């Protein structure tokens, strides 16, 4: 009998199972496999009952059931598990067959895997899949990169199962070579950390600063979701506020304030350091989770370290102040996306990728956790000017940040006065003020560096790239240190 399988999927956890069912709905025959093989039959007997999904009980059987070129996708724990499966699968494949890693892998690993597999004549795709359980089942955002020759063979499946925007365009397109797909997914996750932190800060101000109840806060988020902040994360925050525990009390108040993380935010920050790109907001979001995780220390510190007053924000016009919190969230969010795009631009240059920035906004427009109306505006900005240097300089965003600025500053000032931490709001504003400031105090910093270490400086009255050293004390020599970064 001719092989029937369009694609194999290894990994029958939440993402794998749902993506298989999604592929099945779109007419593809999926061969399912899992490390713990008993889960294959359980899946076929329950969730996949009545579908065309085919089970396999060994890698060999799985590969034998696939049409050519064989497409084998993994949705397993990132890291060693992916390398282990590649080692098991590759001997059963032929040149031109394709291995796809859909987990949250580090982009450098994807780059290495592509090289190793291409050396064997195989093709590799490393792809971000975003949207969690719901997205995998009904339409995720898919961000594939890797071996360009693999794309035409995977495109029909991926674009069928991906989320679609209003005009039917799929939230999936080729991102670029090597690790580009996983890089863009990594930045997506970093931005997700930032968005969640911003919403958390707004919630903190409403709850602690203004003393509002979960029901009142629910109404605020419901209102915000009708405007420029319209997004999945605002929507679920609205619904979380309305959710009650068994005793009728708000569920959100029963949850311990110690955040977890799985590493993709941290990876984004680490890579930003490599590129020297200030993604200050995502960094604050990652560190804020770290601060929250110091729960027992914070409980002790709260007894000793006293802030100003009662921690309440006194406002004459509560409605106007809530509008200002919305403006602070919105302006900070614009800064966060501008920073994320700065990082992708720098990485593309360093790693030799040609990224379609408007296309990336479109891929994130639906299906994924950061989906929002706002991303449509980012797409428009890059459509209007594909060479846009920085999102903050796009005329639409210049106006939006300008309009939000007064409220943004007012909220941060009020939060600082009341002793309520707003690290992401504040760092966004600090970046905005730094970015728009022609003369920063780095002249003094350069003087200090040259003073103590002969690190040299450039002069305002000489061309860039010419370096000078001054013998500041009269005791040093004329020899300067060389200019480089380690
Ligand atoms: P998990 O991340 O929980 O992974 C479960 C799968 O990995 C199972 O099939 C398990 O096999 C397999 N596995 C593990 Br765990 N260790 C293994 C090993 N050492 N060798 C081989 N297989 C191993 O599942 P998930 O939440 O569905 O996520 C799958 C991938 O998608 C991950 O990379 C995740 O980061 C990514 N992702 C998840 C989400 C989400 O919302 N959950 C969203 C987007 C992306 P077993 O059954 O034998 O234990």
Q: Ligand 1 centroid vs 14 CA: distance in angstroms?
A: 8
For residue 16 and ligand 1, the question of a CB distance below 6 A is answered with yes
Alpha carbon nearest to ligand 1 atom 7, residue:
76
Alpha carbon nearest to ligand 1 atom 12, residue:
76
CA 338 to chain centroid, in Å, comes to: 13
User: In this predicted structure, what is the pLDDT of residue 74?
Assistant: 98
Which residues sit opposite 101 in a β-bridge?
A: 74, 126
Mutate to test the pocket of ligand 1, among 19, 37, 77 (most ligand atoms within 8 A of CB): 77
Out of 39, 185, 266, 333, the active site residue is 185
CA 44 to chain centroid, in Å, comes to: 33
For residue 367 and ligand 1, the question of a CB distance below 6 A is answered with no
User: In this predicted structure, what is the pLDDT of residue 236?
Assistant: 97
244: helix, strand or coil: strand
SS3 content of the chain, % helix, strand, coil (to 5): 55, 10, 35
Alpha carbon nearest to ligand 1 atom 49, residue:
36
Alpha carbon nearest to ligand 1 atom 14, residue:
77
Q: Taking a C-beta distance cutoff of 8 angstroms, is the pair 162, 334 a contact?
A: no
Q: Give the residue from 313, 361, 359 showing the smallest Cα distance to 334.
A: 361
Residue 57 phi, psi dihedral angles, 5° rounding: -110, 5
For residue 88 and ligand 1, the question of a CB distance below 6 A is answered with no
Q: Ligand 1 centroid vs 486 CA: distance in angstroms?
A: 36
Per-residue pLDDT tens for 29-47? 999 999 999 999 999 999 9
Q: Ligand 1 centroid vs 193 CA: distance in angstroms?
A: 21
End-to-end CA distance of the chain: 60
For residue 76 and ligand 1, the question of a CB distance below 6 A is answered with yes
User: In this predicted structure, what is the pLDDT of residue 262?
Assistant: 86
Instruction: Using alpha carbons only, give the angle 222, 225, 229 rounded to the nearest 5 degrees.
Output: 140
Q: What is 397-415 written as a DSSP string?
A: HHHHHHHHHHHHHHHHHHH
For residue 130 and ligand 1, the question of a CB distance below 6 A is answered with yes
Q: What is 277-342 written as a DSSP string?
A: ---HHHHHHHHHHHHHH-HHHHHHHHHH---STTSPPP-S-HHHHHHHHHHHHHHHHHHHHHHHHH
For residue 79 and ligand 1, the question of a CB distance below 6 A is answered with no
User: In this predicted structure, what is the pLDDT of residue 223?
Assistant: 98
Cis peptide before 69 (omega within 30 of 0): yes
* 30-33/54-55 β-pairing: parallel
Inter-axis angle of helices 374-384 and 395-418, nearest 10: 140
Active site residue 462: no
User: In this predicted structure, what is the pLDDT of residue 479?
Assistant: 83
For residue 84 and ligand 1, the question of a CB distance below 6 A is answered with yes
CA 195 to chain centroid, in Å, comes to: 9
Active site residue 201: no
For residue 35 and ligand 1, the question of a CB distance below 6 A is answered with yes
- For 445, residues 6+ apart whose C-beta sits below 8 A from its C-beta are none
Q: Ligand 1 centroid vs 268 CA: distance in angstroms?
A: 21
Contacts for 255-258 with beta carbons within 8 Å, 24 or more apart? Answer: 256/295, 257/292, 257/295, 258/292, 258/293, 258/295
Q: Ligand 1 centroid vs 231 CA: distance in angstroms?
A: 27
For residue 110 and ligand 1, the question of a CB distance below 6 A is answered with no
For residue 15 and ligand 1, the question of a CB distance below 6 A is answered with yes
Residue 479, judged by CB atoms within 10 A of its CB (0-12, 13-18, 19+), counts as exposed
Q: Ligand 1 centroid vs 382 CA: distance in angstroms?
A: 35
Q: How many beta carbons lie within 10 A of that of residue 26, not counting itself?
A: 14
Q: Ligand 1 centroid vs 11 CA: distance in angstroms?
A: 6
Q: What pTM, to 2 d.p., does this model score?
A: 0.95
User: In this predicted structure, what is the pLDDT of residue 466?
Assistant: 98
User: In this predicted structure, what is the pLDDT of residue 379?
Assistant: 95
Ligand 1 atom at minimal distance to the Cα of residue 12: 9
For residue 11 and ligand 1, the question of a CB distance below 6 A is answered with yes
For residue 14 and ligand 1, the question of a CB distance below 6 A is answered with yes
Q: Ligand 1 centroid vs 188 CA: distance in angstroms?
A: 19
Tokens of 483: 């200019």
**Cα–Cα distances in Å, from 454 out to 216, 449, 451?**
59, 7, 6
Distance (Å, rounded) from C-alpha 399 to C-alpha 403? Answer: 6
Q: Spell out, as residue ranges, where the chain has pLDDT lower than 50.
A: none
Out of 39, 111, 192, 201, the active site residue is 192
Alpha carbon nearest to ligand 1 atom 15, residue:
77
């Amino acid at each position: 009998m001719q092989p029937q399988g369009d694609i194999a999927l290894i990994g029958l956890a939440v993402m794998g199972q749902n993506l298989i069912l999604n592929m099945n709905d779109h007419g593809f025959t999926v061969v399912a496999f899992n490390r713990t093989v008993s889960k294959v039959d359980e899946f076929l007997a329950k969730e996949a009952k009545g579908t065309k999904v085919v089970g396999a009980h060994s890698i060999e059987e799985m590969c034998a059931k696939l049409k050519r070129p064989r497409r084998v996708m993994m949705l397993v724990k990132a890291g060693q598990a992916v390398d282990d499966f590649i080692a098991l699968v590759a001997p059963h494949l032929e040149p031109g067959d394709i291995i796809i890693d859909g987990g949250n892998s580090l982009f450098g690993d994807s780059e290495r895997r592509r090289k190793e597999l291409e050396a064997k004549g195989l093709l590799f795709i490393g792809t971000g899949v975003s949207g969690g359980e719901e997205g995998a089942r009904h339409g995720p955002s898919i961000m594939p990169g890797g071996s360009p020759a693999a794309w035409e063979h995977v495109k029909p499946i991926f674009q069928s199962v991906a989320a679609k925007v209003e005009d039917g365009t799929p939230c999936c397109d080729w991102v670029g070579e090597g690790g580009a797909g996983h890089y863009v997914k990594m930045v997506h996750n970093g931005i997700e950390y930032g968005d969640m932190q911003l919403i958390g800060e707004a919630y903190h101000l409403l709850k602690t600063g203004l003393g509002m109840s979960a029901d009142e806060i629910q109404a605020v988020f419901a209102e915000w979701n009708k405007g420029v902040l319209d997004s999945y994360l605002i929507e679920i925050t609205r619904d979380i506020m309305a959710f009650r525990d068994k005793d009728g009390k708000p569920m959100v108040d029963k949850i311990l304030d110690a955040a977890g993380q799985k590493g993709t935010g941290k990876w984004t920050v680490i890579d930003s350091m490599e590129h020297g790109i200030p993604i200050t907001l995502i960094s604050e979001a990652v560190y804020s989770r770290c601060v929250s995780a110091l729960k027992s220390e914070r409980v002790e510190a709260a007894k000793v370290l006293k802030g100003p007053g009662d921690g309440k924000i006194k406002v004459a016009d509560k409605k106007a102040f809530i509008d200002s919190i919305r403006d602070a969230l919105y302006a900070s969010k614009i800064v966060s996306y501008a920073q994320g795009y700065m990082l992708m631009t720098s990485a593309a240059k360093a790693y030799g990728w040609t990224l379609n920035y408007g296309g990336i906004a479109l891929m994130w427009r639906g299906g994924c956790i950061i989906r929002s109306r706002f991303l449509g505006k980012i797409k428009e900005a890059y459509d209007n000017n594909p060479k846009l240097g920085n999102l903050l300089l796009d005329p639409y965003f210049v106006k939006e940040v300008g309009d939000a600025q007064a409220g943004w500053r007012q909220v941060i000032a009020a939060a600082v006065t009341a002793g309520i931490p707003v690290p992401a709001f504040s760092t966004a504003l600090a970046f905005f003020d730094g970015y728009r400031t022609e003369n920063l105090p780095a002249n003094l910093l350069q003087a200090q560096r040259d003073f103590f270490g002969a690190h040299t400086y450039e002069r305002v009255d000489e061309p860039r790239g010419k370096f000078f050293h001054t013998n500041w004390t009269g005791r040093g020599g004329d020899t300067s240190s060389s200019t480089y970064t380690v």
